[in-house]
Chains A and B, each alone.
Chain A
Amino acid sequence: MRLAKLSLPALVTAAMVAVAAPAHADPDADFANQLHGYGIYGPRDYNAWLGKITCERLHNGLDTTADKSAHFALINLPRDTTPGQSYQFVAAAIGTYCPDQVPVLTAAAARHQ
């Protein structure tokens, strides 16, 4: 994976920020806002589904690493999405929908250092 220019520790921090963010009435809205910050747009409901399914795949063991999650996100986000954005998507999804999966991000960060 081309991660040379991508700071995975920063992604972990991004996920932690999402976890620490004050509870909002609509996590999908928070998720969408976070994605906009990364230049990821598209239908809000679609992205929320995709984020939740990303978590689901981690939970049931289909995706065992953040790299696999990022690949899944990449093939289902718009064509011009960069690999970096796909990792940002995964970090935001974990932070918003499955904070218990943060270790997957830290493991990826350790592996790519």
Chain B
Amino acid sequence: MNPPRRPRARSVLRAGIAALSATVAISASPATAVADSTDDYPIPHRMIVTTCTAEQILAAARDFTPIYYERYMIDKHNKSPQVQQAAIDSAHYFYSLNPADRRAYSEQMVTNFADPMTAAWPNWAKIFFNNKGVAAKETDHCADYPPDDQSVWDWSPAR
């Protein structure tokens, strides 16, 4: 007479579930240590620590990443004057912060989709934050430019 097979199958199943939940628990625990942002995302580290003003960074972009700058200016000029001014104000605000506050801003930036500036112009900070290579060139040279030359915001793009 064969012994009943069910209890054995059940214990195998139970062991399987235990192993599976252990795996899930192990893989889930490191996730708690990972924040939404990293040292370079969404704002490159160089932009967190730079002492340049937004105007100095734009001047460096104009000379050292001219096509990126040109595209940003075309994009900017397609926005309403109010949105353009809001972008300028937002950039001034960001660069007025100390690195710790910029970092906090960065954390907030990745989670706050309701930010009115982002809603009005999603790429408003593209020239500052979106590209590590561009950020590197900008921060390499920004200190060579005057800190308050507002004309860098008003570049009229080539046709």
Within 8 A of B (CB), among A34-84: 46, 49-50, 52-53, 55-56, 60, 62, 72, 75-76
Q: How large is the interface on B (under 10, 10 to 19, 20 to 34, 35 or more residues)?
A: 10 to 19
Residue in B62, B67, B156 whose beta carbon sits within 8 Å of that of A50 in the complex: B67
Within 8 A of A (CB), among B116-159: 155-158
Flag whether B94 is at the interface (Cβ < 8 A).
Answer: no
Q: How far is the CA of A50 from the CA of B67 in the complex (A)?
A: 7
Flag whether B16 is at the interface (Cβ < 8 A).
Answer: no
Q: How far is the CA of A50 from the CA of B62 in the complex (A)?
A: 11
Flag whether B70 is at the interface (Cβ < 8 A).
Answer: yes
Closest to A52 in B: B158
**Beta-carbon contact of A56 and B157 below 8 Å:** yes
**Beta-carbon contact of B67 and A49 below 8 Å:** yes
**Beta-carbon contact of B64 and A53 below 8 Å:** no
Complex interface: chain B residues within 8 A of A60 (CB): 155-156
Q: How far is the CA of A20 from the CA of B24 in the complex (A)?
A: 72
Residue in A49, A55, A75 whose beta carbon sits within 8 Å of that of B70 in the complex: A49
Q: How large is the interface on A (under 10, 10 to 19, 20 to 34, 35 or more residues)?
A: 10 to 19
Complex interface: chain A residues within 8 A of B62 (CB): 62
**Beta-carbon contact of A46 and B67 below 8 Å:** yes
A60 to chain B, nearest CB (A): 7
B58 to chain A, nearest CB (A): 13
**Beta-carbon contact of B158 and A75 below 8 Å:** no
**Beta-carbon contact of B63 and A53 below 8 Å:** no
Q: Knowing A72-B63, A75-B64 touch, does A53 contact B70 (C-beta < 8 A)?
A: yes
Closest to A97 in B: B158
Interface centre among A50, A53, A55 (most CB of B within 10 A): A53
B156 to chain A, nearest CB (A): 7
Within 8 A of A (CB), among B57-96: 62-64, 66-67, 70
Complex interface: chain B residues within 8 A of A75 (CB): 63-64
Point out residues on B near A: beta carbons under 8 Å.
62-64, 66-67, 70, 155-158
Point out residues on A near B: beta carbons under 8 Å.
46, 49-50, 52-53, 55-56, 60, 62, 72, 75-76
